[in-house]
Amino acid sequence: MFSGRMSKRLSKRYFLWLAGICTFASFFLVWWQWQEASSVPDQQHGLYALPQPLEERRHTITRIRNSAHLMVSAFQDHRRGGAIRVIGIIKREELQQLYCVLCIRTAAAGDLCGSSEAQVEIHSDHFDFPYGTSDILCSSPWSTKATHVSITTDPRVVQSLEYLPIQNKEQRGESFKYDFTVCISNLFGDFDNALQVVQTMEVYKLLGVERVVMYNTSCGPALEKALQRYKREGLLEVVDWPIDKFLKPSHGWKPSISPGDLHYYGQLTTLNECIYRHMYQSRYLLLNDIDEIIMPYEHASLGDLMDALQEQYPDAGVFKVENPIFPKTQFDDSGRFSRPEWKGVPGLNILEHIYREPELHQNMTVRPFKMIVDPRRVEQTSVHTPLKHFGPFVYVPFNVSHIIHVRSPLQRKLSKEQLIKDDKLWEFEQELIPNVNRVLKESGLL
């Protein structure tokens, strides 16, 4: 009987203890929700609750309702006091007043939103096409707390809009996931140069690149197999870029030669988007095309190159690297790299093209360049030069680094004897050849 009484007393104490824990947890949950709700502005600050949960964007590109304009992605810009920067594409002659709808997603209060006038900055480089890459800037008292944003022509209609998640909410320090990321602006026209792409990717890996971002409108079947292989490896991030579903993009940079709505399938938009996408993920970005390799000539890797350049130019955030042409019409006479197993793979074999054109321009301001940038020091960029940036930029000496760019010749009348032999790629032969063959086999191309 004694043990039965003790058992009942223990059960009662256990029940009281459990009830106390539950009561404390309930009070804590109420307090936490109150704290969260009180940490965001309320209706007195111009916010209102959406009657239904906001709808997040479904595609990479979103049309701004009742306008000719497009919005792509949104980022918090800590250099602008926490303002929200929406990367957009604006029809320059039809720009009307746009509005930002900023929303704060909370567990306790739902989606709280407010509207404010947007500031639109159309980038100065648009090459006279009707549409231009633009920044749509949103500032309000609650910008730093906002989690989603949409752009509209009518701030009174907000429920059925598509909202972009705001990226880069955290401003990170000197710790980055990647040291080097390559931003490849556009794949289009069923591009299927698989062999050159694989060779280029494998050279970049040997130089220290850890991430490659490609904006893909369309590519051929062989290249698609290679891209899927690199995605599985974790090296490649492919961003769908269906710009042709919204506009008539140009195949070039000059409207009189390649007419259309937008320069070169939106190349400027994707380059700027890549800068913000990886602003706090990568120490450096290489802004170049798929057929270009930014090659160090006095250093073993890109890391060694940039360490040396930053030591010499500690305040610089943009490094311009000259872009000579290696004509695909001129071949190495020895046939050393005319490998039979590559004959059936679509694309150029860049190891066979080791002759480059001499300098076309003596004036540094008109010679072609691509860039290595610290993304945190760039606000807007064009293809060959930054449009807005912080600190000086540096022309990298040609002997220190220049680009290996195998393509159609620019100076078509030059004979092979007038070209300059540049077989830097051959230094990678021992590792490059087996690496390329392994990727081609794993892609089902060999």
Please write the tens of the pLDDT for every residue from 93-103: 999 999 999 99
Residue 10 has pLDDT above 60, yes or no: no
- Using DSSP's 3-state secondary structure scheme, residue 64 falls into coil
Of the listed ranges 216-225, 325-334, 365-374, the one predicted with least confidence: 365-374
pLDDT confidence of residue 362: 64
Q: How confident is the model at residue 34 (pLDDT cuts 50, 70, 90)?
A: very low
> Residues of the chain with pLDDT > 90: what percent?
77
Q: Is the distance from CB of 261 to CB of 130 less than 8 angstroms?
A: yes
**72: part of which helix (H) or strand (E)?**
strand 70-77
Q: Is the distance from CB of 88 to CB of 70 less than 8 angstroms?
A: yes
Q: Is the distance from CB of 131 to CB of 89 less than 8 angstroms?
A: yes
Q: How confident is the model at residue 45 (pLDDT cuts 50, 70, 90)?
A: low
- Model pLDDT for residues 296-306, shown as the tens digit of each residue: 999 999 999 99
Could you tell me the residue ranges of all domains in the chain?
48-167, 178-442
pLDDT confidence of residue 18: 53
Give the residue with greater pLDDT, 105 vs 214. Answer: 214
Structure tokens at 218: 């369309």
Q: How confident is the model at residue 146 (pLDDT cuts 50, 70, 90)?
A: very high
Residue 106 identity (one-letter amino acid): T
Residue 204 CB partners (closer than 8 Å, separation 6+): 182, 212, 293
Residue 366 has pLDDT above 60, yes or no: no
Give the residue with greater pLDDT, 418 vs 110. Answer: 418
Class of domain 178-442: alpha beta
What whole-number distance in Å separates Cα of residue 76 and Cα of residue 98?
18
pLDDT confidence of residue 24: 47
DSSP annotation of 262 reads: B
Does the CA dihedral 297-301-305-311 come out positive or negative?
negative
What whole-number distance in Å separates Cα of residue 104 and Cα of residue 84?
13
Residue 310 has pLDDT above 60, yes or no: yes
Residue 18 CB partners (closer than 8 Å, separation 6+): none
- Model pLDDT for residues 46-104, shown as the tens digit of each residue: 688 887 788 887 789 999 999 999 999 999 999 999 999 999 999 999 999 999 999 99
237-251: average pLDDT: 97
Q: How confident is the model at residue 28 (pLDDT cuts 50, 70, 90)?
A: very low
334-340: average pLDDT: 94
149-174: average pLDDT: 88
Residue 388 has pLDDT above 60, yes or no: yes
- Measured from the Cβ of residue 292, the count of other Cβ atoms closer than 10 Å reads 20
**319: part of which helix (H) or strand (E)?**
strand 318-322
pLDDT confidence of residue 19: 52
pLDDT confidence of residue 41: 43
pLDDT confidence of residue 320: 98
Residue owning tokens 């701004």: 64
What whole-number distance in Å separates Cα of residue 119 and Cα of residue 135?
8
Mean pLDDT of the chain, nearest integer:
89
Q: How confident is the model at residue 361 (pLDDT cuts 50, 70, 90)?
A: low
- Measured from the Cβ of residue 269, the count of other Cβ atoms closer than 10 Å reads 29
CATH (residue range 48-167) = 2.60.40
CA 136 to chain centre: 18
